[in-house]
């Protein structure tokens, strides 16, 4: 009996997982963590500053406090916690919450349709493929770029420790987003030149970052689609978290384009999530 009750409670938590996603999304959109940077505040004051209803905001913050994001003191004021602190400023973590709470949330709401139709959930929700959407909505595209840096950025140092990039002279980062990984590689290897290749709008947004890293001389920005071609002449083609976005046929096209474009002795470097056999979590 006791076991049954626990299982039901556990299942209820899982069923209501979307409450958490949306509550974090509200805090991220309203910049609640920034509003609390100078000390605890009452939800009414926070509501006034954020332009929302204080009593409604209280409910969201109380829910988040129950999972360690913000904490309420004896006077009913909320304060930052280490978890809440990750949402401060223009951090990639905040962008990650904004991306998941908005476009990705709506796409996951179409999961059943996707399973039935075989179409991507994003297309079911928005009517166009994800990267076309972000090209047409540059503000949201910038949120996506930043979310990627927030999510994958910490991988750069371990990658650079684990793999010897010094053997390459011309590295093409295919689908390189805002260039944060390429910047880290080029800074570590001053003899190397790089090409940041991504969709035209993405590359446009990446320009200032490359420039302020002082890498304009060694890093070329090329806009285009890897479904059509990739820039030629590199001795390394890096695909980090790119292939998993595509069906097998498209992934094969992208890889073939890299093969055709590279120097004869070139290498394709794939950094990707691999779902292991068995039941261990991998998402």
Tell me whether residue 36 or residue 99 sits nearer to ligand SAM (CB atom). Answer: 99
C-alpha to C-alpha distance for 216 and 207, rounded to whole angstroms? 9
Residue 207, token pair as written in the block = 């320009």
Q: Least distance to ligand SAM from the beta carbon of 227, Å?
A: 5
C-alpha to C-alpha distance for 103 and 126, rounded to whole angstroms? 9
* DSSP reduced 3-state for 12: helix
Tell me whether residue 41 or residue 100 sits nearer to ligand SAM (CB atom). Answer: 100
From residue 202, give the alpha-carbon distance in Å to each of 110, 135, 136, 175: 27, 8, 11, 9
The residue sitting closest to ligand SAM, measured at its beta carbon, is: 175
Tell me whether residue 112 or residue 227 sits nearer to ligand SAM (CB atom). Answer: 227
Say whether 241 is catalytic. no
Q: Which DSSP string corresponds to 231-243?
A: -S--SEEEEES-G
Residue ranges that bind ligand SAM, judged by CB under 6 A: 131, 148, 152, 175-177, 181, 198-199, 202, 225-227, 240-242, 245
**Number of Cβ atoms within 10 Å of the Cβ of 108:** 15
Q: Least distance to ligand SAM from the beta carbon of 105, Å?
A: 17
**Number of Cβ atoms within 10 Å of the Cβ of 138:** 14
C-alpha to C-alpha distance for 230 and 83, rounded to whole angstroms? 40
C-alpha to C-alpha distance for 244 and 152, rounded to whole angstroms? 14
Residues 6+ apart with CB under 8 A from 116: none
Q: Least distance to ligand SAM from the beta carbon of 77, Å?
A: 38
Contact indicator for 121, 113 with CB cutoff of 8 Å = yes
Q: Which of 42, 102, 152, 244 is catalytic?
A: 244
Q: Which helix (H) or strand (E) holds 210?
A: helix 200-212
Q: 275: which DSSP letter?
A: P
Tell me whether residue 114 or residue 159 sits nearer to ligand SAM (CB atom). Answer: 159
Tell me whether residue 176 or residue 234 sits nearer to ligand SAM (CB atom). Answer: 176
Tell me whether residue 115 or residue 227 sits nearer to ligand SAM (CB atom). Answer: 227
Q: Which residues are catalytic?
A: 244
């Amino acid at each position: 009996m006791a076991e049954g009750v626990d299982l039901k409670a556990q299942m209820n938590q899982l069923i209501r997982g979307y409450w958490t996603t949306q509550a974090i999304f509200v805090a991220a959109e309203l910049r609640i963590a920034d509003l609390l940077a100078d000390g605890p505040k009452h939800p009414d004051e926070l509501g006034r500053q954020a332009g929302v209803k204080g009593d409604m905001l209280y409910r969201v913050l109380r829910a988040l406090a129950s999972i360690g994001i913000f904490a309420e003191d004896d006077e009913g004021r909320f304060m930052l916690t280490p978890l809440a602190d990750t949402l401060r400023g223009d951090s990639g973590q905040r962008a990650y919450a904004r991306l998941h709470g908005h476009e990705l949330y709506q796409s996951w709401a179409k999961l059943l349709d996707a399973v039935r139709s075989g179409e991507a959930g994003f297309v079911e929700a928005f009517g166009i493929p994800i990267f076309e959407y972000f090209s047409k909505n540059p503000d949201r595209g910038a949120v996506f770029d930043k979310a990627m840096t927030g999510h994958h950025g910490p991988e750069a140092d371990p990658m650079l420790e684990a793999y010897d990039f010094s053997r390459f002279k011309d590295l093409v980062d295919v689908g390189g987003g805002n260039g944060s990984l390429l910047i880290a590689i080029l800074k570590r290897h001053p003899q190397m030149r790089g090409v940041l290749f991504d969709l035209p709008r993405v590359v446009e947004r990446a320009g200032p970052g490359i420039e302020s890293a002082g890498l304009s001389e060694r890093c070329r920005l090329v806009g285009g689609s890897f479904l059509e071609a990739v820039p030629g002449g590199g001795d390394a083609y890096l695909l980090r978290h790119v292939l998993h976005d595509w069906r097998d046929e498209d992934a094969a096209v992208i890889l073939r384009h890299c093969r055709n474009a590279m120097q004869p002795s070139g290498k394709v470097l794939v950094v990707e999530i691999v779902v292991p056999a068995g039941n261990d979590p991998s998402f």
